Chain A
Amino acid sequence: MNTVELTRDERAVRQTSGPVLGMVIFVASEAMFFATFFGAYFTIYSVNPVWPPAGFPRLEPGLATVLTVVLVASSVTLQVGVRAIRRDRTRAMLVWLGLTILLGAGFLGLQLYDYSLLGFGVRDGIFGSLFYVMTGLHMAHVFGGVVFLVLVLAQGLGGQLTHAHHDSMEAGSIYWHFVDLVWICLFITFYVVGLS
């Protein structure tokens, strides 16, 4: 190996941030976790002749569309916050981050409200099992994300985040976008595909 290759190798090593790389790998793991549930969903979907099975209503996408808009909007606000801290505009970042947290909390509240409107439960058949376990685990992830972002906000309020040092914000945003993406997959699976 010559000097050029050596330098390239070492530069690649030093230019990645540990927490960001760690979060990317962790998100890959989470992707396998949710992929398993989607695999289970479509396996069961394919062995059942009628879908949704008898006794289950076709899900109305109205409120779920609002949920989708809220979560996608929260991804946008978070990314604007990330861009702000990259330019060292800490105050702007705090505002956008706070807004993201509010949207996340709003998503959780709205989804619980949505649950209360549905006329079926987890014990009413396989469709109920899949729906509540998959969306419930996603909700747990949104909750975890909100907690993470609140901790980042606390760091920011304590003046610990600068444009040179904000790995927690970058890592948090990667996680948050992933959770958003999972919701979009859930929305398509349960509300859009179910419509036809």
Chain B
Amino acid sequence: MNCPLLEQTDLLLDYTAGRLDSATAALFERHMENCTHCAAFRTEQAVLWNALDAWEPEPVSLSFNRTLWQRIDAIAAEPWYRRLIDGFRFGAWKPALPLAAAVCVIAAGFVLDHANAPTTTNVAGASGVSITEVDQAEKALDDIQLLRQLDSASHPEAKNSKTM
């Protein structure tokens, strides 16, 4: 049966890489004296580590910095519109993103709010009669009522003959 410590891969890798603190490393050392599984892992990983250590990269060219600065100078000499395009390409627009999002949200809210708001020619109910027309009709009825009251007040005999 395998040692449960083999499941703790990060600890084992850190141990073989020499990245554990001395106290934990000492615990591992003691454990490996009695655990053949962990000891075998340590041996294989150590061999791999040494093999990888042997792979040294080539030195960086002496002209690296000079070439890079030439390219940077070329960027600086580019026309403003090219730099603007590059700025967008390389993320200069990112700080403006929250502001743009906020503007979009406000604009959308404004449009939705005004799309639902009633207008002066709104339809009242499903009858197809506008609010303006209803107001005008009510006013006309009030006027007729007032005229009748005035008429009856000025000709009381007519009213009495009718009642007789």
Co-complex (A, B): no
Q: What is the interface of chain A, defined by CB distance below 8 A to chain B?
A: none
Q: What is the interface of chain B, defined by CB distance below 8 A to chain A?
A: none
